[in-house]
Amino acid sequence: MATTFITGTTTFADPTFADPTGYGHGAGPSSPVPGRVRRHSPAGALGDLVYCLVGLAPAIFFFVVPVTLLAVGIGTAVIYVGLPVLAAGLLVARAGGLAQLALGRSLLGLPLSGPAPIVRRGTGPIGRLTGVLADPGCWKAFLYHCFSIAFAPLRFGVAIGLYAYGVGAVTYPFWRGWLPEQVADDGSVHRAAQWGHDFYLDTVPRMALLMAIGIGVLWIAPRVVRALVTVDRLLITGLLAGPGRS
């Protein structure tokens, strides 16, 4: 929520107090869709879904590679060979953070700026190396990836499960004919999905019930996915974004 200041006859809002989630007043003019509109729009739900789907692979890559490099770097730091390896791991983590910020801007409408540039601590290669090792943005990006590796698979699985079940249930009458035949205990043949023992979804009331459940799941799905994505919004805002707005 933006904070308003009044000076004489002039009123202005301080953008540094804007809502970082992009769902409230703080979506700002740089956001593709205003926060309140985007929250309940199909475009917002689609952006959340795509973010969950495409975010899994980067989350795995930018966790495994930096952790491997940092482990090797710390293990060999005693002979100084590990320091460049450690710096390389931090740079990979920082690059992953910038990629995640780009996803947040394009899919979630987060109007956030990137982290501050790395400050060189001296001259020559040693100064550049020290600057990377002492850069808070690199370490915060690494911390973000440690959290993301836990949440990204959860977001992916829940989003796929809810939308797949909802769409499958709503369209069930159209693809039921391709299911294999099943024989019930009484000898009757059914070409339908089965709930429990000898309960086949091959009558109009039962198919209507399944379609109604599918509609309910599709109504719930964007709200559940939005709640999961909100966790990542807060992590991106707190660990990856720099001061100000893009």
Is residue 32 located within the same domain as residue 130? no
10 lies in some domain = yes
Is residue 33 located within the same domain as residue 103? no
* Residue 241: predicted pLDDT: 86
Is residue 117 located within the same domain as residue 210? yes
Spatial separation of the C-alpha atoms in residues 104 and 112, rounded to whole Å: 8
* Residue 39: predicted pLDDT: 55
Is residue 109 located within the same domain as residue 155? yes
The percent of residues above 90 in pLDDT, for the chain, comes to: 57
* Residue 122: predicted pLDDT: 79
Is residue 31 located within the same domain as residue 84? no
Domain that holds residue 233: 41-239
Is residue 99 located within the same domain as residue 146? yes
* Residue 84: predicted pLDDT: 93
31 lies in some domain = yes
Average pLDDT, integer, range 205-213: 95
161 lies in some domain = yes
* Residue 20: predicted pLDDT: 45
Is residue 24 located within the same domain as residue 125? no
pLDDT at 44 over 90: no
Average pLDDT, integer, range 172-187: 87
246 lies in some domain = no
Mean pLDDT for the chain? 83
Q: Where are the alpha helices (DSSP H) in 109-135?
A: 124-133
Confidence of residue 161 (pLDDT cuts 50, 70, 90): very high
pLDDT at 16 over 60: no
Rounded (10°) angle between helices 136-170 and 42-54: 110
Count CB-CB contacts under 10 A for residue 57.
Answer: 11
Is residue 87 located within the same domain as residue 31? no
Provide the domain count of the chain.
Answer: 2
Is residue 32 located within the same domain as residue 108? no
Q: What secondary structure does DSSP assign to 143-209, as a single string? A: HHHHHHHHHHHHHHHHHHHHHHHHHHHHTHHHHGGGSPPEE-TTS-EE-S-B-SSS-B--SHHHHHH
Is residue 160 located within the same domain as residue 202? yes
Start-to-end CA distance of the chain, whole Å, equals 18
75 lies in some domain = yes
pLDDT at 54 over 50: yes
**pTM, two decimal places:** 0.77
Average pLDDT, integer, range 204-228: 96
Spatial separation of the C-alpha atoms in residues 86 and 69, rounded to whole Å: 6
* Residue 3: predicted pLDDT: 44
